[in-house]
Amino acid sequence: MGRLNVNLCGIELDNPVIPASGTFGYGYEYAELFDINCLGTFSFKGTTKDPRFGNPTPRIAECTAGMINAVGLQNPGVEKVISEELPKLKKCFHKPVMANVSGFSIEDYAYTCEKLDAQEQVGWLEVNVSCPNVHGGGMSFGTDPKAAAEVTAAVKKVTTKPVIVKLSPNVTDIVSIAKACEDAGADGISLINTMLGMRIDLRTRKPIIANKMGGFSGSAIFPVAVRMVYQVANAVKVPVVGMGGVTTAEDVIEMMLAGATAVEIGAANLVDPWVCRDIINALPEVMDKYRINSLSEIIGGTK
């Protein structure tokens, strides 16, 4: 096992760096820029049972040290992802991929997860109960322990691959929700998704985003993410995937010290499409600086 290797829910990763869902498409777009097989894996674009056009525009607003988005889970639906997107991905990515799934009912989640679980390329199912940009689904499941547990249990009944439940930071008690998902059978927890934010145009005096509010991401949320990863990692026995404002190799190590087994990188991909590759390349030097022999040894190293 190499210095950068980690084991996520029984699957070996060459390194812990994972581009986050919604910032890396279905992978082949980035494969035109660099060999994406250098990644540990990546979480592909959030997929729903049926096709979604997403929210009306404008969907993006800039802000200090971050951005707000309200794309609204635009995707072609699970059938087309399986028939069109995954075959294209197979030509350029030769590792298990993480399938990110969203839904508007427990039945939606179960249907989509069962379909993707059957795909050879899929290694993990990242079940998103935390999207702040859609109405009637997503975050409504992730803000209540009972509802999050019901989604988890339903998905586990129809799948064989590791189920990682993605949680929202827009709650008062993240630990109770994480523990409810673990008790319902989750094989891992990923957090945090975007925080809920808003910008107002001073000239029009109206919200910049048509959806009014959206998901706030970027380096500004990193301390919140570290805190929540630390809290959850110390409360559950399953692996934690940490994310939220990660932009450097130092951030990856800090997130792992907080308890993350692997680390997702989101908004930074939209600023610098080579950021994940560059972070992976920088990790050995940063490890040497802080006298770290193996990344797997530092997981949860802060008590």
Query: Which residue numbers are catalytic?
Result: 131
Tokens 């319902």 belong to 184
CB-based contacts of 297, cutoff 8 Å, min separation 6: none
Q: Are 6 and 261 in contact (CB under 8 A)?
A: yes
CA distance 209 to 9: 38
Other Cβ atoms closer than 10 A to 147: 16
H or E segment to which residue 60 belongs: strand 60-63
CA distance 224 to 269: 20
CB-based contacts of 56, cutoff 8 Å, min separation 6: 210, 211
Strand partners, 240: 189
Which candidate, 212, 245, 266, places its Cα nearest to that of 64? 245
CB-based contacts of 172, cutoff 8 Å, min separation 6: none
Q: Are 189 and 231 in contact (CB under 8 A)?
A: no
3-class secondary-structure state, position 34: coil
C-alpha distance across the termini of the chain, in Å: 26
What is the DSSP track for 156-220?
HHT--S-EEEE--SSSS-HHHHHHHHHHTT-SEEEE--PEEE--EETTTTEESSTTS-EEEESGG
Q: Are 253 and 298 in contact (CB under 8 A)?
A: yes
